[in-house]
């Protein structure tokens, strides 16, 4: 009887400790995974099994500070009225957070202004119905930056693909190996941090994937020397 009571107390204490631990949800390797793109550069994939946004901000981690989202809706498919209706939400990911737990998570990353300025554009002149590589994405962004403002330290470029594109990253393909990825390259005299978000049929799921990818990319940009 005494031994049984000891075991019960032990399990109760273990359960209490687990309930009080605020960061058990996600192992570091589940947050993102480093891979190589076509030219040997480093990119970071968000894996299909990745957890929701809650739990990715760790105590003592980097603080994001000012964050400005630049969105490029790539492909003529975004001219469809049903897809275009998604653009305001995807183009202002932080401002459209409705879950208080996610707002709290964002605040822990140092982002206190969810309603900062954002920039969005459609780019329908890139032919679809095919695979699109990371190097081609970089080339498209480079051309956009030639005529646009120089990115600042808090700029993250979100590239939203229409349904006709199949994203590839070296030998990896979207939906099988990743649901989004982020990387950086040098252009216009600055380091350009960008995220590629393949199309998701479910609008809510697509929003959550994009939000997670934005936050993870922003955190990583703070860890990366400028």
pLDDT over 70 at 190, yes or no: yes
Residue 49 vs residue 199, higher pLDDT:
199
The 3-state DSSP class for residue 182 equals: strand
* Residue 62 pLDDT: 55
Predicted confidence (pLDDT) at residue 59 exceeds the cutoff of 70: no
Q: What is the mean pLDDT of residues 193-221?
A: 92
Q: Read off the pLDDT of each residue in 42-46 and give the average, rounded to a whole number.
A: 92
Per-residue confidence (pLDDT) for residue 102, from 0 to 100? 87
**10 pLDDT higher than 60:** no
> Does residue 7 surpass a pLDDT of 80?
no
User: What pLDDT does residue 52 have?
Assistant: 62
More confidently predicted of 10 and 127: 127
pLDDT category at 71 given cuts 50, 70, 90 is very high
Average pLDDT over the chain, rounded to whole? 81
CA distance 187 to 38: 18
Select the more confidently predicted residue: 22 or 215.
Answer: 215
Distance CA 181, CA 60 (A): 24
Average pLDDT over residues 184-189: 85
Q: In what order do the strands lie in the sheet with 33-36?
A: 33-36, 42-46, 180-187, 190-197, 155-161, 68-74, 119-123
Q: What is the pLDDT of residue 31?
A: 55
**In this predicted structure, which of 2-11, 43-52, 142-151, 183-192 has the lowest mean pLDDT?**
2-11
Confidence of residue 58 (pLDDT cuts 50, 70, 90): low
Percent pLDDT > 90 in the chain is: 52
Decide the pairing of beta strands 33-36 and 172-173: unpaired
Burial label for 173, CB within 10 Å (0-12, 13-18, 19+), is middle
């Amino acid at each position: 009887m005494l031994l049984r009571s000891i075991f019960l107390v032990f399990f109760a204490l273990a359960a209490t400790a687990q309930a009080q631990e605020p960061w058990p949800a996600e192992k570091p390797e589940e947050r993102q995974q480093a891979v190589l793109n076509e030219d040997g550069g480093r990119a970071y994939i968000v894996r299909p099994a990745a957890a929701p946004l809650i739990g990715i901000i760790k105590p003592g981690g980097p603080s994001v500070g000012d964050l400005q989202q630049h969105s490029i809706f790539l492909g003529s498919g975004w001219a469809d009225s049903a897809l275009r209706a998604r653009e305001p939400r995807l183009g202002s990911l932080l401002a459209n957070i409705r879950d208080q737990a996610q707002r709290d998570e964002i605040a822990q990353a140092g982002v206190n202004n969810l309603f900062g300025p954002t920039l969005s554009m459609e780019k329908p002149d890139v032919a679809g119905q095919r695979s699109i590589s990371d190097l081609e994405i970089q080339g498209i962004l480079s051309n956009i930056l030639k005529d646009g403002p120089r990115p600042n330290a808090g700029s993250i470029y979100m590239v939203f693909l229409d349904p006709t594109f199949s994203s590839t990253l070296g030998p990896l393909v979207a939906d099988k190996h990743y649901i989004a990825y982020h990387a950086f390259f040098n252009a216009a005299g600055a380091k350009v941090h960008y995220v590629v978000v393949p199309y998701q049929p479910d609008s809510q799921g697509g929003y959550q994937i994009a939000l997670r990818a934005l936050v993870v990319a922003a955190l990583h940009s703070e860890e990366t020397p400028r």
